[in-house]
Structure 1
Amino acid sequence: MERWFLSLIVLSIFFLGGVASIKCYSCNYPDTKCGDRFAYTNPDANECSGSCVKRRGIRPQGGVEVYRGCQSQTTTYCHETTYVEMSVVECFCNEEYCNNSNSVRMSALSLILAIISILYNTL
């Protein structure tokens, strides 16, 4: 029981520490540098308190629209939705510059802490 409690405290501290501001790219369609051939650099990023977001929508008649920016929520995940007749994949992430790629990457530190916690509780 004590191990689970200690693991929960360590993971909570880590994840709560991630609430501070992070740098996220901010751009929108029709900016061609914002699309699938992403061409922004780190100085083009903005400070965000929350998560970075990337939304990629496919229009019914063809064509792609991409939005990158900030979102107030802080959970890392992707989901599919529909917006103004577009099929949209929306991904949220909590690392510096993480909304630059085609997917949300899990923090290496998050993965290591999760593995350590699991091993600690099974031994």
Structure 2
Amino acid sequence: MVREIHQAAIRDFGGSDGIRENALLESAVAAPQATFGGKAIYASLSEIAAAYLYYLCKNHPFLDGNKRTALGACLVFLRLNGVETKPDGPQWEQLVLDVAASRIDREETTKRLAKVLA
């Protein structure tokens, strides 16, 4: 599904289509689903959504459109789990830019996402 989100982002907003490193994509998609001792590492919807946003943005698996794809995956995950959002406010853009610029870590990404969703 992430690949389809990326293709839609490139189609709608431009950029080069393609995967820069498949292992980085696989890692970014697997991270939100990770378990330890049989328990999910990321348990809440906001933690999982933030993990998709963070790892897709930071791993930079695509040639272009990594930030757009990261936000898209986060939003699709939320929508599939019954959380409707309006990602048109400046807080969404700032959240993604802060992740991309390494101004916030994954835990802070989760906190900020939870505030945006509140």
TM, length-normalised to structure 1: 0.22
Asked which structure has the greater CA Rg, the reply is 1
More strand as a share of residues: 1
